[in-house]
Structure 1
Amino acid sequence: MEQTAIPYVFMRGGTSRGPYFNRADLPADRETLAEVLIAVLGSGHANNIDGLGGGVAVTTKVAMLSPSDDDWAEVDYFFAQVSVEDRLVDFKPTCGNILSGVGPAAIELGLVRPTGDETEVKIRAVNTGAKVLARVQTPGGAMRYDGDAEIAGVPGTAAPIALNFMGVVGSSTGAFLPTGHLHDEFDGIEVTCMDVAMPMVIARAQDFGLTGYESAAELDANTEFFARMEAVRLKAGAAMGMGDVSKSVTPKFGLLAPAKAGGTIATRYFMPWNTHPSMAVTGAQCLASCALTPGTVADGLLERPTTSPASVVLEHASGTIEVLVDFEMNNHFTLNSAGLLRTARKLADGRVYVPASVWKGR
């Protein structure tokens, strides 16, 4: 079989992992690009046995990087979510965990040069238009991956990567509240539909007969809950102006409950057809914004911080994640920026091969 070789860097970004490409090394048209990414990840088999995927949604993600023509940004980050089994590629959402590796990958791919012991990388997330300032450790002008930073869902420690997200309100739908309401009701479930970094449908766990403290495995085994949740998500997606979302991973779904481990609020996040083992960076920003906004489904579940910036600690399925939120509260909640601490690690580099019948290369 004749094959096409494509250069790549394989990285863990936050609690996700996947290949990072120079966009110039991939097909220009979306249809061929989707087929190439399906072949790279091995979508179509539960174990992704014929590709680099790991058999779960957090390991079938792709980052494509290129020099940015934006006046502010240096690097454009184009994200793709590849399905595990269905041979689908969704170019609509972004991923904040994979974004954690964009700064290091841009340096590894030669798109950005280190500027000292710490390098700032200005990133535009092209899927949503969000702008992110990443600070990565580059002592002596070289990428550093070892360090003392620890994040839930990843074993051990690594060098810290500080992310500051700007321009994330209405990133997909154009509105903080895509339906125009703080509350909506679908199939008897009260929800808040919000678009901050990621469009989400957010509900109280108790309204589904859940505690909100269930493990990811317990939730994944609850097929009745998933059926009810998906029905609500489809109706909410239409009400948010997103059309038929039955084959799209957005809007995502989130559940809220009172904190029980010293955090601000307990959360569960869905991708959306299974439970996230920890928490998405984008989802964390949206859930933190919902928690801080009076009149949402978060009412009564927490004692809201009143001063900005506020530290919002979200308890999730494998620990906690802290979001530092800069906001204003006049007649309504206004998000200025959200900051998070993540880590990343280079796992491999070289060339990945796809059948020439899929793409013959440039």
Structure 2
Amino acid sequence: MADPTHQEHLDGTLIRGGTSRGLYVTPGELPDDSERRDEVLIDIFGTPDPLQVDGIGGGNSHTSKVMIVDESDRDDADVAYTFGQIGIENAVVDWSGNCGNLTSGVGVFALRSGLVDTAAPETELTLYNTNTETYVDQVVPVADGKPAVRGDYRVDGVPGTGARIDSYFRRPAGAVTGRLFPTGERVETVTVVGDDYAVSIVDVANPNVFLRARDLGLDGTELPQELNDPELLDRLELIRGAVCERLGLVEDRRDAADQRAAVPQVALVSEPQSYATVSGDRVDAADVDVTSRIVTTQTPHHSYATTGAMCLAAATRLGGTIPAEFARPGDGPDVTIGHPKGTITIGTETGTSAGEPTIERVRVSRTARLLVDGEMYYRADAE
């Protein structure tokens, strides 16, 4: 009989990257077998449970994430990393996408772990994301031989300020599906429960499904608690599941929540609007280029998923899409998105190839901070 008091542990680090928080580990800390690896992570995060009270997850999609980081065996990258989205109410780990927020912490972890040598006043490194087979050029500020924490850069959705980390995602289009427009259409119709919805399916950093907020009976400025309506979320998941089925990500749309929990993301888009944020501050329509709300793993996001923001920003520059329909016209690279906690600005560099649009690079600026470094425990029978 197994010892009822025995637990195993792994050495890991909790880092807040952007508006997310996640567990960062090196590959040797996890079982080689993929099924056992997922079981261990599910136990560590306290899934399945909407509160994740028996683990390190926070009961939200943005706090239920893992990054596996190691030296790269590629000549053109310093670090390789793999992202996993841990389910909350579903005992599943989705390895199919990337996380823009937690990517900002990869360089911090790599420098602190000695995977990359530090250089002051900033260290430039190239990351390779194994999920999407894409590269990220990152600049991490350094002070006293360590990643800097203090600075004057503000991220809406994170208290205070921190040191600015710039990440440049190279050629992020088709990250999961292999195509900027996975179906070849810029707007198409999805039918669920007898109702038709116009959607734009765009794949930049992660695939996203964009809908007009008004088509769901919304004005687009709702806050997460207002969007946390079971009927609305069920309808959005049906739409997302139908897109998963259309893209060949699942055979049956009803399996999307279990088999493809994290991607595609689904977002509601509207014109630049003024509104009060979650904290009571105000966003003015004149200060944003587009307004949006995003749902990740069937949960309204408290601010905005960074890969979703990257995709939305790019889509506003692609004529004929739903985001372009609502976005303020602009020629510069920066696109500012209004979200429930304020704004996020994404730099987008576009081009053309053989007469078709391309996304050359997308820039994201975030901050990151080490929170916990130590032993993460899981029940031995989880392994």
TM-score of the superposed pair, with normalisation by structure 1? 0.95
Tell me by how many angstroms 1:332 deviates.
Answer: 4.0
CA distance in 2, matches of 1:235, 1:44: 24
Spell out the pairing of 1:346-357 with structure 2 (5 A cutoff): 346-357=370-381
Worse-matched range after superposition: 134-143 or 170-179: 134-143
CA distance in 2, matches of 1:203, 1:258: 12
Selected match of 2:263 from 242, 250, 267: 250
Structure 2 counterpart of 1:325: 348
Tell me by how many angstroms 1:283 deviates.
Answer: 0.7
- Cα RMSD, aligned residues only: 1.5
Unaligned 5+ runs, structure 2? 274-283
Selected match of 1:295 from 312, 320, 343: 320
Worse-matched range after superposition: 288-297 or 350-359: 350-359
Q: Secondary structure at the match of 2:257?
A: coil
Give CA deviations for 1:293-347 in whole Å, capped at 9, x if unaligned: 101113431332235xx11001111110000111125844321001011001000
Q: Secondary structure at the match of 1:94?
A: coil
Tell me by how many angstroms 1:54 deviates.
Answer: 1.1
CA distance in 1, matches of 2:352, 2:184: 18
Worse-matched range after superposition: 1-10 or 263-272: 1-10
Tell me by how many angstroms 1:133 deviates.
Answer: 1.1
Q: Secondary structure at the match of 1:298?
A: helix
Structure 1 counterpart of 2:247: 240
Tell me by how many angstroms 1:358 deviates.
Answer: 2.4
Q: Which letter does structure 1 place at the counterpart of 2:264?
A: P
CA distance in 2, matches of 1:318, 1:101: 21
1:169 is aligned to 2:169: no
1:153 is aligned to 2:157: yes
Q: Which letter does structure 2 place at the counterpart of 1:311?
A: D
Distance 1:47 1:272, change over 3 A: closer
Selected match of 2:228 from 220, 230, 255: 220
Q: Which letter does structure 2 place at the counterpart of 1:238?
A: E
Give CA deviations for 1:195-251 in whole Å, capped at 9, x if unaligned: 000111111111111111100110112x33222222221111222232242321211
Checking the alignment, whether the CA contact within 8 Å between 1:135 and 1:162 is kept in structure 2 is: yes
Spell out the pairing of 1:301-312 with structure 2 (5 A cutoff): 301-307=326-332, 310-312=333-335
Distance 1:302 1:46, change over 3 A: closer
Unaligned 5+ runs, structure 1? none
Worse-matched range after superposition: 48-57 or 151-160: 48-57
Checking the alignment, whether the CA contact within 8 Å between 1:173 and 1:241 is kept in structure 2 is: no
CA distance in 2, matches of 1:46, 1:233: 21
Q: Which letter does structure 2 place at the counterpart of 1:282?
A: T
CA distance in 2, matches of 1:73, 1:224: 45
Q: How many residues align?
A: 356
CA distance in 2, matches of 1:86, 1:215: 24
Give CA deviations for 1:149-192 in whole Å, capped at 9, x if unaligned: 10010000111111111131101001000111111101211111
Structure 1 counterpart of 2:338: 315
- The runs of at least 4 aligned residues of structure 1 exceeding 3 Å deviation read 329-332
Q: Which letter does structure 2 place at the counterpart of 1:358?
A: A
Checking the alignment, whether the CA contact within 8 Å between 1:189 and 1:207 is kept in structure 2 is: yes
Q: Secondary structure at the match of 1:202?
A: strand
1:56 is aligned to 2:57: no
Tell me by how many angstroms 1:356 deviates.
Answer: 2.3
Structure 1 counterpart of 2:237: 230
Q: Which letter does structure 1 place at the counterpart of 2:296?
A: M
Selected match of 1:136 from 122, 126, 140: 140
Give CA deviations for 1:116-138 in whole Å, capped at 9, x if unaligned: 21011211111111211111111
Q: Secondary structure at the match of 1:255?
A: strand
Give CA deviations for 1:4-31 in whole Å, capped at 9, x if unaligned: 2211111101111021101122111110
Tell me by how many angstroms 1:139 deviates.
Answer: 2.2
Q: Secondary structure at the match of 1:138?
A: strand
Identity %: 34
